[in-house]
Amino acid sequence: MKLTEIFQRNKYSLSFEVFPPKTDDSYDSVKTATEEIAKLSPAFMSVTYGAGGGTSKYTLDIAKNIREEFGVPSLAHLTCVSSTKETVAARIADFKRAGIENVMALRGDIPKEMQGEDRSGWAYRHAVDLIAELKESGADFCIGGACYPEVHPESVSQADDILHLKEKVDAGCDFLTTQMFFDNNLLYNFLYKIRQAGITVPVVAGIMPITNAKQVERAIRLSGSFMPQRFKSLVDKFGGDSAAMKQAGIAYATDQIIDLFANGVTNVHVYSMNKPDVAAAIQNNLSNIIGKNA
């Protein structure tokens, strides 16, 4: 099922992101974790694409398994910046053969070794190049793109970032998913600005439950997200006690989601970090709000 149908049909959608194994050895444990999350019957599950595409076959395997064995619609991520045209064409052909309907089209982070290079010869410079190729592929993919309420770190300004976001949507993005954020006001402000810029596709809010103190530093480093004082206090107080921090992190994420639903944001995607217990706890906390068809 296409995600756009889910966004239209459901009053609220709660979905989960999982990541594929980084090595062959961890395949079984990662697969089991994704299956435990699939058993929760979320609205859909996304499967990320390893940076550089090293373990790309697992993205497809897991996305297919979730859909075929558990009936959960899946969204397969695909990045392009460090790929050749041939590799991307092969991935798209794999997706078509596997019956993948939903693709998250991403540029990917620029690998260190490519950072000083002249970009004019690159096969892909931006996600918009991949979106155009997916549209031309002949498959009727439902295409997602990434967006950044706190501005992508490479952008010179928010206005510039939103301009390029509009280009992605005009090229064929059917929906957008946000980078994680910990202060909902940042999202509300962003939504106002992109709607003003004429971007009308559904926006799925990305929420990262922080369930251990180490994750905080990693989340800031990777996303550059602003941490509100309310959140910092919670980490200061409970960061040294793993059980307490987990409970507090789940409560904070739940609170953020309830506020989003209460303020008209209807689709929320939880970065589950492959933790079925965290995904289940958040879903349980919202059970009467989201009802059966989350």
The contact set with ligand FAD (CB under 6 A) reads 48-49, 51, 77, 79, 106-109, 126-128, 146, 152, 154-155, 161, 164, 167-168, 177, 179, 206
From the list 5, 17, 101, 113, the catalytic residue is 17
For the CB of residue 124, give the shortest distance to ligand FAD in the complex, in Å.
9
For the CB of residue 288, give the shortest distance to ligand FAD in the complex, in Å.
28
Taking the least distance from each CB to ligand FAD, the nearer of 65 and 155 is 155
Taking the least distance from each CB to ligand FAD, the nearer of 35 and 109 is 109
For the CB of residue 168, give the shortest distance to ligand FAD in the complex, in Å.
6
Taking the least distance from each CB to ligand FAD, the nearer of 184 and 246 is 184
The DSSP result for the chain, as a single string, is --HHHHHHH-SSEEEEEE---SSGGGHHHHHHHHHHHHTT--S-EEE---GGGTTHHHHHHHHHHHHHHH---EEEEEE-TT--HHHHHHHHHHHHHTT--EEEEE--PPPGGGTTS-GGG-S-SSHHHHHHHHHHTSS--EEEEEE-TT--TT-S-HHHHHHHHHHHHHHT--EEEEPP-S-HHHHHHHHHHHHHTT--S-EEEEE----SHHHHHHHHHHH-----HHHHHHHHHHTT-HHHHHHHHHHHHHHHHHHHHHTT--EEEEE-TT-HHHHHHHHHHTHHHH-S--
For the CB of residue 130, give the shortest distance to ligand FAD in the complex, in Å.
8
Does 117 participate in catalysis according to the annotation? no
Taking the least distance from each CB to ligand FAD, the nearer of 67 and 77 is 77
Catalytic residues, by residue number, are 17
